[in-house]
Amino acid sequence: MTEAPIEIRAGVELPARREEIELRTTDGLMLVGELATPIDRAPVATLVTLHPLPTAGGFMDSHILRKAAARLPALAGFAVLRFNTRGTSSPRGTSEGTFGEGVSERADVAAAMSFVRERALPHPWLLGWSFGTELALKYGLEHDIEGAILLSPPLHRTSDEELSRWQQASPTIVALIPELDDYLRPPEAAERFASVPRATRIDVAGGRHLWVGESQTRRVLDEIVAIVDPAASVPLPTVWPPSTADV
């Protein structure tokens, strides 16, 4: 008997291979994380996720990143790497070290990208959210990436010089700017990103910094998939298994 499809909502985790991993930094720290990959095919692309500010409750399980790992291996064929930056705790565990104000986390980003290379994970993209966007902007160009996706970038720690470097760089840069963001709204974002006219800004009507609610989650995940894999079918299915109309 075939099971009835279930609606994909907050607590639903779709099939994937989920592996607890450890990352080693060049300054001797162990960072905890998870790699989720499709169970029925090789991944078509890789998301290296960078979580929100740990001193404000951000961690590898911050909901958009957790839902990306729960859904996108099955729905889009992506590998999703999540990890706690130094000094950050989650149910997976606590990464060694202490919060470095976005400075010493440079080594954390490098450790994640080293893991991607070692595993030969394809077409890596940095997916930063809030504080994680600062890490992507400051250090992303030090690595071989396809691009960076910025969710709710506050641009607090990123200097204008660091931002302008992306204008001459080859990786794609796309920023999702919530209309009602707590830190950087579309008019201010237009000014700050003026030095990077090649960047794509997506202003999200009604969006908020934390992207709370299933409608905002789906909008963000649809945008991520469309950016990383333009050939993919979006919007993503909202039930599992997908109906024949969704595939």
Q: How far apart are CA 32 and CA 12, in angstroms?
A: 23
pLDDT by residue (tens digit) across 99-141? 999 999 999 999 999 999 999 999 999 999 999 999 999 999 9
Bridge partners of 81, per DSSP, are 35, 48
Percent of the chain exceeding pLDDT 70 equals 97
User: Is 0.85 surpassed by the pTM of this model?
Assistant: yes
Q: What is the pLDDT of residue 1?
A: 44
What pLDDT is attached to residue 245? 56
Q: Which residues pair with 94 in a beta bridge?
A: 89
Q: Which residue has the tokens 């029925």?
A: 40
Residues across the chain:
247
Q: Which of 86, 83, 80, 167 is nearest to 125 (CA)?
A: 80
pLDDT band at 18 (very low <50, low <70, confident <90, very high): very high
Q: Which segments of the chain are extended strands (E)? A: 6-7, 17-24, 30-37, 45-50, 78-83, 89-90, 93-94, 124-129, 147-151, 172-178, 200-204, 239-240
| pLDDT above 60 (res 68) | yes
pLDDT of residue 243: 73
Using alpha carbons, select from 77, 104, 195, 204 the residue that is nearest to residue 149.
204
Q: Which fold has domain 6-246?
A: Rossmann fold (3.40.50)
Phi and psi of 227, rounded to 5°? Answer: -70, -50
